[in-house]
Amino acid sequence: MVLLSRIVTVARYCQSRLWLCAVWCIVSIAVPAISQAQDVSRAPDPVATLPDSVQPAETQSEIQPDVVPLDSLSSSWDAGQVVDSALVDSTFLLPEPLPPVRTSSFNPEGMRAVWLSALFPGLGQIYNRRYWKLPIVVGGFVGLIYATSWNNRMLLDYQQAYLDIMDSDPTTNSYMDFFPPTYREEDLDKTWLTNILKQRKDAYRYYRDYCIVGMVGLYLVCILDAYVDAELYHFDMSPDLSMVVKPALIPVSPTHWPAVGLQCAITF
Could you read off the pLDDT of 38-93 as tens digits, one per residue? 554 454 554 444 455 444 544 444 444 444 444 444 445 554 555 444 444 444 44
Check if the beta carbon of residue 117 is closer than 8 Å to that of residue 218: no
Share of the chain above pLDDT 70, in %: 59
pTM confidence score: 0.50
Residue 165's H or E segment, with its range, is helix 134-166
Q: Is residue 152 part of a domain?
A: yes
Higher pLDDT, 12 or 170: 170
Check if the beta carbon of residue 166 is closer than 8 Å to that of residue 194: yes
Q: Is residue 241 part of a domain?
A: no
255 — pLDDT class (breaks 50, 70, 90): confident
Q: Is residue 168 part of a domain?
A: yes
At 100 the three-state DSSP class reads: coil
In the chain, how many domains are there?
A: 1
Q: Is residue 30 part of a domain?
A: no
Q: Is residue 227 part of a domain?
A: yes
Amino acid at 112: R
In this predicted structure, the answer to whether residue 181 has a pLDDT above a threshold of 90 is: no
The range of the structural domain enclosing residue 185 comes to 110-231
Check if the beta carbon of residue 241 is closer than 8 Å to that of residue 268: yes
